[in-house]
């Protein structure tokens, strides 16, 4: 019998995502899988929580037991492997500690840490008691940390309202152990959005006109997953962030218009172009 050929080479970059599920499909695990696939990578998952949500907000959260989350991750690592991690919604201290154990078990695999704290509709996705655990345990494991302004403020205790504030907070987060920080400027007022990639070697800015749209659900998840895919595929950090930034920008412009609230992006635009 002739053995069927392997098509593993069709996938470049295995990304293991440890994050929550979004029933509306715009953020969380669903956005992560769509993004990684659109960029040519292979997505595997360890789901940390199941949420009840749509474009109007989160109305329920069901955490997955930490031992099951760790078992999901180890099943993937023991068989398929990973070229990058991406973390999202963690929820509480026990989950943070669990995910840190997974990351520590494969220290050669870069981790993109999205410190998810609040859903687009305002629901809390990280217990206040867990912020300290993210600060002391997760940040030192981050090859790239991707906070928005409110998340950076919570992690550093600094006021983050301007681009200069983003820069100061980014430096503070580097001092906490992150290898690099992508400070997202979407919450900073102004006609243009400026994101700053800050590393010990210097700073790179990504700037564009602010898109006037309510369809921004999942932008943070999508950006972080796109960055992780680039790292998994062997791109440099700057190349990974630049491609991710452009991918999210275009996905926002092409948003399908679904829902009555914060609508999802068009994650598949690259596949159809």
What tens digit of pLDDT does each residue of 73-130 get? 999 999 999 999 999 999 999 999 999 999 999 999 999 999 988 877 667 788 888 9
Catalytic-labelled residue, pool 35, 87, 216, 229: 216
Choice among 44-58, 108-122, 174-188 with the minimum mean pLDDT: 108-122
Q: What's residue 128's pLDDT? A: 86
Full-model pTM: 0.94
Catalytic-labelled residue, pool 218, 222, 227, 263: 218
Catalytic-labelled residue, pool 34, 91, 184, 222: 184
C-alpha closest to that of 191 among 211, 164, 214: 211
CA distance 182 to 17: 18
CA distance 227 to 247: 10
Is residue 26 annotated as part of the catalytic site, yes or no? Answer: no
Is residue 257 annotated as part of the catalytic site, yes or no? Answer: no
Catalytic-labelled residue, pool 87, 219, 222, 229: 219
Catalytic-labelled residue, pool 24, 88, 220, 230: 220
Domains of the chain: residue spans and CATH: 17-272 (3.40.1190.20)
pLDDT > 90: percent of the chain: 86
Which tokens hold the place of 262?
């914060």
Is residue 220 annotated as part of the catalytic site, yes or no? Answer: yes
Which tokens hold the place of 191?
């006609």
Is residue 25 annotated as part of the catalytic site, yes or no? Answer: no
CA distance 173 to 32: 24
């Amino acid at each position: 019998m002739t053995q069927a050929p392997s098509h593993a080479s069709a996938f470049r970059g295995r990304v293991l995502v440890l994050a929550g599920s979004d029933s509306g499909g715009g953020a969380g695990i669903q956005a992560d899988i769509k993004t990684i696939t659109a960029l040519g990578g292979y997505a595997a998952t360890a789901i940390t929580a199941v949420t009840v949500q749509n474009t109007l907000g989160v109305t329920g959260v069901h955490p997955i037991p930490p031992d099951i989350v760790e078992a999901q991750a180890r099943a993937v690592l023991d068989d398929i492997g990973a070229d990058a991690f991406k973390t999202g919604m963690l929820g509480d201290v026990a989950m943070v500690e669990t995910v840190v154990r997974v990351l520590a078990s494969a220290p050669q695999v870069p981790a993109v840490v999205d410190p998810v704290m609040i859903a687009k509709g305002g629901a809390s996705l990280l217990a206040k008691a867990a912020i300290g655990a993210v600060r002391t345990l997760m940040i030192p494991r981050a090859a790239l940390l991707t906070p928005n302004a409110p998340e950076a403020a919570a992690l550093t205790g600094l006021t983050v309202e301007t681009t200069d504030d983003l820069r100061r907070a980014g430096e503070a987060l580097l001092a906490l152990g992150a290898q690099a920080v992508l400070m997202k400027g979407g919450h900073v007022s102004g006609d243009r959005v400026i994101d700053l990639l800050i590393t010990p070697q210097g700073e790179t800015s990504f700037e564009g006109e602010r898109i006037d749209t309510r369809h921004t659900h999942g932008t943070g998840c999508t950006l972080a997953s796109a960055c992780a895919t680039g790292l998994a595929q062997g791109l440099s950090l700057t190349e990974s962030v630049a491609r991710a930034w452009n991918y999210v920008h275009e996905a926002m412009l092409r948003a399908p218009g679904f829902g009555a609230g914060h609508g999802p992006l068009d994650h598949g635009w690259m596949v159809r172009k």
